[in-house]
Structure 1
Amino acid sequence: MVVPASPSCFQIMLLLYLTFLLHIASHHHIQPAAAASKVEYLPGFDGPLPFHLETGYVGLGDTNDDLQVFYYFIKSENDPVNDPLMLWLTGGPGCSSFSALAFQIGPIKFKIEEFNGSLPNLILRSQSWTKVSSIIFADLPFGTGFSYANNVTAHRSHWKLIHHTHQFIRKWLMNHPEFISNKFYMGADSYSGIPAPGIVQEISNGNDQGLQPWINLQGYILGNPVTTGKESNDKIPYAHGMGLISDELYLSLQRNCKGEYIDINSKNEVCLRDMQYFHECLLGTNEWYVLDSDCKLDFLMGDQGTHKRILTQKLEGPLSSYLTVPTTVTCQVVYCYFLGTQWANDDSVRKALHVREGIGKWKRCYTTDFDFDIATSFEFHVNLSAKGYRSLIFSGDHDLVVPFSSTQAWIRALNYSILDDWRPWLLNAQVAGYTRTYSNQMTFATVKGAGHTAAEYKPDEGLVMFSRWLSNVPL
């Protein structure tokens, strides 16, 4: 007869600890679900998804529901075993990376049609960047999209976003060891041009320190990126070059403001007068895409403010009346944001995405309560260039929010020699933009005729640019 051994103190403590965790989970308002789940059908899309979509949560905190990052993962539609892996953050700070998935570089998009109150429809995007790369779209910082934390405000700053994203990708790779050997890139756009280079630096430092799993870090991609925080100073010469202000006003601004148009001395009355005239000249100009009409979809905004900030607003709330499809490009972009909000707040969608119960209303962007503790990401670029990481920096050349000239200026300040000088890059034997490469493995490219952000307005050019760069061939 075999007498069972008495449980050790360790086993008893472990049992008590697990019992405690189950008790906490059962009484918390958000019910934990499976960490990762394959999504084969999406409400609004006709038939099974023709690509591999996985959604899930990665916990970063000490307890099961302390800090939970929601993500969408789409395997490369080409060769996921060998193709690169990219982690993407949308700007904001605090806009859900569903924005990039559905509005910019992912394999689905919303069908632009009259809204009658029913669930918006999804269709395929043929220019998805998942044609050549696996992509993780992460909802960070906390409070963004379907991610959550017990105390959201305590976890919202540039540095915390950097630390959390670094933790997230290592934990994600632990759960997906088949991707550890794949080449890894960090991708971001707009305001995430501030934290993204810092994330790359932290990943690199972690590799140097022997953190596991080791990440096969190759470089980073930034679109229309905020970098120095001084981008608005470049609006004036850009506006002059585009014919939006007169020679006389431009010369007066240069003379009276001496190149500083952001932090203006309150006693400098002549500069303030010129700046007032400058803003009057730009009234009715679409700063996000200067080729297009200004978007005045006030009926979608409720009491959110003026049309000047339309693209940064959260368009939400049910509408009883039918909405006519806008005719201009920018208004269609904004209209899709509205459709996305209606879609993401539908119960059937949340169930299909395996979103945990108890998560509040989905907002495309949550930008409040954020601590802006990094003024510029320039030094990150300096450090990463010294380490030899590849980088692709691209700009829509009709973006007045982050003018391409401001991006060129900080790249020039890196003071690296030029390997391949300024030249057009082509698509279908037509000029798609201009490019220049540097000795620090940095490539700069404009996307001709694109706004903020480039891939949203020029998807064909965006995919070709990304594909060529990934393949190490000249644009």
Structure 2
Amino acid sequence: MKGRRYSYCLYLILIQTLASYVPSLAAPEGSLITQIPGFSGNFPSRHYAGYVTIDENHGKKLYYYFVESERNPREDPVVLWLNGGPGCSSFDGFVYEHGPFNFEAGKPHGSLPTLHQNPYSWSKVSSILYLDSPSGVGLSYSENISDYITGDLKTASDSHVFLLKWFELYPEFISNPFFISGESYAGIYVPTLANEVAKGIDAGIKPILHLKGYMVGNGVTDDVIDGNALVPFVHGMGLISEELFEEVTIQCNGSYYNSTADSCQKKLATVDEEIKDINVYDILEPCYHATPSKISFTTTKLPQSFRRLGVSERPLPVRKRMFGRAWPLRAPVRDGLVPSWPQLLSEVDVPCTDDEVATAWLNSEAVRRAIHAEPKTVAGNFELCTDRLKFYHDAGSMIKYHKNLTSRGYRALIYSGDHDMCVPFTGSEAWTRSIGYKKADSWRPWFVNDQVAGYIQVYENNLIFLTIKGAGHTVPEYKPREALEFYSRWLADKKI
């Protein structure tokens, strides 16, 4: 009897052990990825990918790539990741930032890259759901091209539909803590989507998502506050002189956003001239200029176009930028659309763009078959940032969204690489302070391996503002170790 009880106990232990290594039992048939061209060896966790149809009538499909946690996928958080643009694929984050692989460019130029395991992948502590959104971005597509005319609010609504359908396909993850995250223009995507999810929870829409909070990196938030952030940033970084800073402050009355005063515009033009050769994504990195056969491009006008972001609800075209990111651009309206800037550049390539690895990998039909993506004949050529969208910035300031969500108990981490000139930390620090919450802690450094990794301000209602020392616009790309560290601590609700 004793031996039989002992055998039965061993049987139970074996069953429990096997069960812990067999997540995603309800995953859609054919979604499991078993191998990927360019990578040899075993995956450190299970990967799934495919399409979710969010509009049957239009054939509107959103593509996802899901990486299970390498630690404990049954209990670890599920985190949705969104890149910005609008118009940039979340493979930007997957390939260049915190995905499960590091990509080594192929030789010769344009050939398939070689993949290695990423020791700082965010899948070390969580499951990550990479989503190409809205339709028309990355590997997502629609059979009705009218779906490529969209905006903030429609994108949030579509992404919410995606999540409801996705969790129906993967019901074993519904009880896991769920977080929404992203960077850059996802500063709009994340809070608007979190708001949709929260409303769905309140309304009892099933499945009930276990939303705990959200995270935004170097995110667009408020036109005026973000638009006023550049001049103080470049002055504080020593990129313009004290004399010029005093002059532009006087002429613009301390308000640099969308000023119509000639005297202010002239001084802002001088500021732009001073910083035109600086890499807008990381002021410490070089900016490579065009070969003589192309128009020499600098970042001169980018900050000015940023100051004009969202002046109206007119459609915003998407233009590739340095490192393949994109930004909604403003210019005089012609025929109801906003032309790309500057008009001189037209269709020429933007120097500093480097999408080689992602483009070569995701335009390979072998890779597409392996990751269950439609071929180019259906979904089109992969571009890290597309210009086929007509996008409306119609959600306004995000501050009301943040205040509503955090006041209701949702946790929020707002982080900034402190050397990003595109969406400077000065703006993010200002708007988080403007919400008016009391400080729960003093401004202080945070550490990784006994070294200062940045600075942190904790507010009441679980709102945190965090800087990462020496990082640019895409923090995990510049500081992968530090990024994984604050990400891990925050998800676990531990002190950073």
Q: TM-score, normalised by structure 2?
A: 0.81
1:360 corresponding residue in structure 2 = 380
SS at match of 2:65: strand
C-alpha distance in structure 2 between counterparts of 1:203 and 1:304, whole Å? 45
SS at match of 1:407: helix
Query: Are residues 148 and 304 of structure 1, via their aligned partners in 2, closer, same or farther at CA, if it must alter by over 3 Å?
Result: farther
2:249 corresponding residue in structure 1 = 254
C-alpha distance in structure 2 between counterparts of 1:402 and 1:473, whole Å? 27
Query: Are residues 435 and 460 of structure 1, via their aligned partners in 2, closer, same or farther at CA, if it must alter by over 3 Å?
Result: same
- Deviation per CA, 1:124-155, whole angstroms, max 9, x where unpaired? 21101111110110010110011111234435
2:232 corresponding residue in structure 1 = 237
SS at match of 2:137: coil
C-alpha distance in structure 2 between counterparts of 1:93 and 1:134, whole Å? 24
- Residue type of the partner of 1:345? N
**Aligned counterpart for 2:322 among listed residues 310, 320, 325:** 310
- What pairs with 1:378-389 in structure 2 (closer than 5 Å)? 378-389=399-410
C-alpha distance in structure 2 between counterparts of 1:406 and 1:127, whole Å? 28
1:344 corresponding residue in structure 2 = 362
1:104 and 2:92 are equivalent in the alignment: no
C-alpha distance in structure 2 between counterparts of 1:302 and 1:195, whole Å? 37
8 Å CA contact 1:74–1:130 kept in 2: the answer is: yes
C-alpha distance in structure 2 between counterparts of 1:304 and 1:98, whole Å? 29
Q: CA deviation at 1:313?
A: 5.7
1:51 corresponding residue in structure 2 = 45
C-alpha distance in structure 2 between counterparts of 1:202 and 1:137, whole Å? 18
1:67 and 2:60 are equivalent in the alignment: yes
Q: CA deviation at 1:47?
A: 3.0
1:454 corresponding residue in structure 2 = 475
Question: Which blocks of at least 5 consecutive residues in structure 2 are unaligned?
Answer: 1-27, 300-320, 327-349
SS at match of 1:391: strand
8 Å CA contact 2:324–2:353 kept in 1: the answer is: no
**Aligned counterpart for 2:393 among listed residues 367, 372, 377:** 372
2:21 corresponding residue in structure 1 = none
SS at match of 2:94: helix
C-alpha distance in structure 1 between counterparts of 2:268 and 2:146, whole Å? 35
**Aligned counterpart for 1:169 among listed residues 131, 150, 163:** 163
C-alpha distance in structure 2 between counterparts of 1:78 and 1:345, whole Å? 31
Q: CA deviation at 1:305?
A: 7.4
- Deviation per CA, 1:94-117, whole angstroms, max 9, x where unpaired? 211111111111111211565434
Query: Are residues 305 and 142 of structure 1, via their aligned partners in 2, closer, same or farther at CA, if it must alter by over 3 Å?
Result: farther
**Aligned counterpart for 1:211 among listed residues 197, 205, 212:** 205
C-alpha distance in structure 2 between counterparts of 1:422 and 1:120, whole Å? 43
Structure 1 stretch 246-255 or stretch 113-122: which is displaced more? 113-122
SS at match of 1:449: coil
- Residue type of the partner of 1:310? M
SS at match of 1:259: coil
1:135 corresponding residue in structure 2 = 128
C-alpha distance in structure 2 between counterparts of 1:35 and 1:253, whole Å? 61
C-alpha distance in structure 1 between counterparts of 2:199 and 2:408, whole Å? 11
Q: CA deviation at 1:50?
A: 2.9
SS at match of 2:55: coil
1:264 corresponding residue in structure 2 = 259
8 Å CA contact 2:106–2:357 kept in 1: the answer is: no
Q: CA deviation at 1:285?
A: 0.9
Query: Are residues 304 and 455 of structure 1, via their aligned partners in 2, closer, same or farther at CA, if it must alter by over 3 Å?
Result: farther
C-alpha distance in structure 2 between counterparts of 1:212 and 1:366, whole Å? 33
C-alpha distance in structure 2 between counterparts of 1:138 and 1:353, whole Å? 13
8 Å CA contact 1:295–1:310 kept in 2: the answer is: no
C-alpha distance in structure 2 between counterparts of 1:355 and 1:369, whole Å? 24
Q: CA deviation at 1:302?
A: 8.6
1:31 corresponding residue in structure 2 = none
8 Å CA contact 2:359–2:383 kept in 1: the answer is: yes
Give the number of equivalent residue pairs: 420
Query: Are residues 472 and 43 of structure 1, via their aligned partners in 2, closer, same or farther at CA, if it must alter by over 3 Å?
Result: same
1:393 and 2:414 are equivalent in the alignment: yes
C-alpha distance in structure 1 between counterparts of 2:286 and 2:60, whole Å? 42
SS at match of 2:456: strand
- What pairs with 1:148-163 in structure 2 (closer than 5 Å)? 148-154=141-147, 155-163=149-157
Query: Are residues 304 and 178 of structure 1, via their aligned partners in 2, closer, same or farther at CA, if it must alter by over 3 Å?
Result: farther
Query: Are residues 36 and 163 of structure 1, via their aligned partners in 2, closer, same or farther at CA, if it must alter by over 3 Å?
Result: farther
Q: CA deviation at 1:264?
A: 2.1
1:221 and 2:233 are equivalent in the alignment: no
1:279 corresponding residue in structure 2 = 272
Q: TM-score, normalised by structure 1?
A: 0.84
8 Å CA contact 1:153–1:369 kept in 2: the answer is: no
- Deviation per CA, 1:307-327, whole angstroms, max 9, x where unpaired? 53423468xxxxxxxxxxxxx
2:281 corresponding residue in structure 1 = 288
2:181 corresponding residue in structure 1 = 187
C-alpha distance in structure 2 between counterparts of 1:143 and 1:303, whole Å? 28
- Residue type of the partner of 1:199? L
Pairwise CA RMSD: 2.2
Question: Which blocks of at least 5 consecutive residues in structure 1 are unaligned?
Answer: 1-33, 315-330
- Deviation per CA, 1:290-339, whole angstroms, max 9, x where unpaired? 1122233x46x99697253423468xxxxxxxxxxxxxxxx9x954x222
2:458 corresponding residue in structure 1 = 437
- What pairs with 1:315-326 in structure 2 (closer than 5 Å)? none
8 Å CA contact 1:35–1:58 kept in 2: the answer is: no
- Residue type of the partner of 1:169? L
- Deviation per CA, 1:357-415, whole angstroms, max 9, x where unpaired? 42211111124411221222111001102101111110001111111110011111110
C-alpha distance in structure 2 between counterparts of 1:254 and 1:186, whole Å? 38
